[in-house]
Amino acid sequence: MPRPRAAEAAETPRRIRSAAISLFAERGFHGTGIRDIATQAGVTLSSLYHHFGSKDDLLVDIMFTSTAPLKRAADAAYQALDTPCRRLAMLIEQHVWEHVTDRLAKIVSDTEVRALSGERRDRVVSLRDSYENVWRTTVEEGVATGVFTVSHPKALTIGLLEMCTAVSHWFQPSGDLTLLELCHTYADGGLALVRAAQEDRPVRRADLEIGEPTRFLLG
Amino acid sequence: MPRPRAAEAAETPRRIRSAAISLFAERGFHGTGIRDIATQAGVTLSSLYHHFGSKDDLLVDIMFTSTAPLKRAADAAYQALDTPCRRLAMLIEQHVWEHVTDRLAKIVSDTEVRALSGERRDRVVSLRDSYENVWRTTVEEGVATGVFTVSHPKALTIGLLEMCTAVSHWFQPSGDLTLLELCHTYADGGLALVRAAQEDRPVRRADLEIGEPTRFLLG
DNA sequence: GTCTATAAGGTGATAGAC
DNA sequence: GTCTATCACCTTATAGAC
């Protein structure tokens, strides 16, 4: 018994998208030819253009397909959990989890925004901003209630986000460190980070008397 | 009185390098044409090829010129300071300082390694590894002496490094937050991070009962 | 050291048959 | 929906005069 035609038809764009993701992640958007994608997907050039209007459209499609689930999960977690600590921990763990399980698409989403321009770029940036706003809101509410103590919340929040994003570039699960352990470790790290200005913290920069950062840089 | 000829001659490659840095940072290596660089530097195409053997050579030159001072400063700081806390704080502050004051070259160094291959790539990666080894060694010594308490040192060290690297992409000095304050804030953040598994830390992931990261992701 | 001119091949995208 | 063939352009790099 043959598969339904609709399922067969939907298979081709999926293969094209998958081929584009791995090539864009490895060589970059401008480093990848439209022919390379077609070849790796096992279709001809014209077939590719039948499913995607342009190379730019293909990139936008990849970015939305990659970012939208993360935004949905962030909204769901924010709604379901009830304290800044719980929300931030879950945001961190979801972000890390997705950036490992869907790592190639995440690399493309996080490095190739600059390849877009105009309205296409605006839509992608807008979705990413709405996702990051969940993080920012969570941190701000933690600072407002006093459970987070950090001297410059915005700076550390974006730093924390980038730290979690970067797992796409280096992490490989092993016996030493599974993906789940990585998520837990980064959640604890993030919670420590947003309390970095706690008064009674034992090790603080100001007590070290190390001078300023330019001390070994100039000359 | 005219300038010395040597200084005039050395000015042209400097202008070429500067033009290439800003274009590679903005559009990426493959998104930048060799003609764009020549035009922005105010020289002809052949003049560019007289100073740099190829587009790849130009990229390698940029990466070495950008990374070498950071490695030198890291070695100097490691030698001059005497505890893991002091060394790590200074490594963080130097890294952040350089990634802001020389931000375009750092963006190129950090995102375009994939554009290289073969021996050129090996040399660049080798220099970067030797720099990161100073960080790794510092964290390991802190763990060995017990002043750093972190469940997975490698994972948090590379995360911390990426967090500091990312300042190139977003930070702009302002009245709210100067570059020096950013350096200090990140040093304190880093010190909090490498003590994230401290037994008596008040807010810990395990106490939050939030479930696992897939809770809001599947379905 | 810098120039003009050009080689040699890759690029995104389309036309039109089947 | 998929194919072959092709257009118009852009790319890195080099040749050879001055």
Q: What is the pLDDT of residues B54-86, one digit of tens each?
A: 999 999 999 999 999 999 999 999 999 999 999
Neighbours of A218 (CB within 10 A): 7
pLDDT band at B4 (very low <50, low <70, confident <90, very high): very low
pLDDT band at B200 (very low <50, low <70, confident <90, very high): confident
Interchain contact, B159 vs A164, CB within 8 Å? yes
CB of A131 less than 8 A from some CB of B: no
Q: What per-residue confidence (pLDDT) applies to A122?
A: 98
Interchain contact, A192 vs B188, CB within 8 Å? no
Interchain contact, A158 vs B151, CB within 8 Å? no
Tell me which residue in A80, A114, A163 faces B162 most closely, judged by beta carbons.
A163
CB of B26 less than 8 A from some CB of A: yes
CB of A186 less than 8 A from some CB of B: yes
Burial letters for B30-63: b for 16+ Cβ neighbours within 10 Å, e otherwise? bbbeeeebbebbebeeeebeebbeebbebbbbbb
Radius of gyration of chain B (CA): 21
pLDDT band at B9 (very low <50, low <70, confident <90, very high): low
Q: What is the pLDDT of residues B126-177, one digit of tens each?
A: 999 999 999 999 999 999 999 999 999 999 999 999 999 999 999 999 999 9
Tell me which residue in A26, A180, A191 faces B204 most closely, judged by beta carbons.
A191
Q: Is 60 exceeded by the pLDDT of residue B7?
A: no
pLDDT band at B201 (very low <50, low <70, confident <90, very high): confident
Q: What per-residue confidence (pLDDT) applies to B166?
A: 98
Contacts of residue B163, Cβ cutoff 8 Å, sequence gap at least 6: A159, A160, A162, A163, A166, B186, B189
Q: Nearest nucleotide to B50 by CA–C1' distance?
A: C1
Neighbours of A128 (CB within 10 A): 17
Go through chain A and tell me how many residues it has: 219
- Protein-covered nucleotides on strand C (Cβ within 7 A): 1-6, 10-16
Half-sphere exposure of A27 (CA within 13 A, CB side): 12
Q: Show residues of chain B in contact with A192, CB under 8 Å.
A: 192-193, 195-196, 201
CB of A116 less than 8 A from some CB of B: no
Q: What per-residue confidence (pLDDT) applies to A202?
A: 84
Backbone angles phi, psi at B206, to 5 degrees: -65, -20
Element (H, E) at A100: helix A84-101
Mean pLDDT of chain B: 94
Q: Nearest nucleotide to B9 by CA–C1' distance?
A: C1
The crossing angle, in degrees rounded to 10, of helices B55-80 and B84-101 is 150
Question: Which residues of chain A fall short of a pLDDT of 70?
Answer: 1-9, 219
Q: Which of A83, A90, A188 to mutate to test the interface with B (most CBs of B within 10 A)?
A: A188
Task: Give how far A121 is from chain B: nearest CA, Å.
Answer: 14
A10 touches strand D (CB under 7 A): no
Rounded to two decimals, the pTM is 0.95
Distance, first Cα to last Cα, chain A: 76
Q: What is the pLDDT of residues A16-39, one digit of tens each?
A: 999 999 999 999 999 999 999 999
Backbone angles phi, psi at A156, to 5 degrees: -75, -30
A45 touches strand D (CB under 7 A): yes
**Closest residue, chain B, to A71 (C-alpha):** B217
Q: Is 80 exceeded by the pLDDT of residue B219?
A: no
Q: What per-residue confidence (pLDDT) applies to A219?
A: 63
Q: Is 60 exceeded by the pLDDT of residue B3?
A: no
**Closest residue, chain A, to B75 (C-alpha):** A216
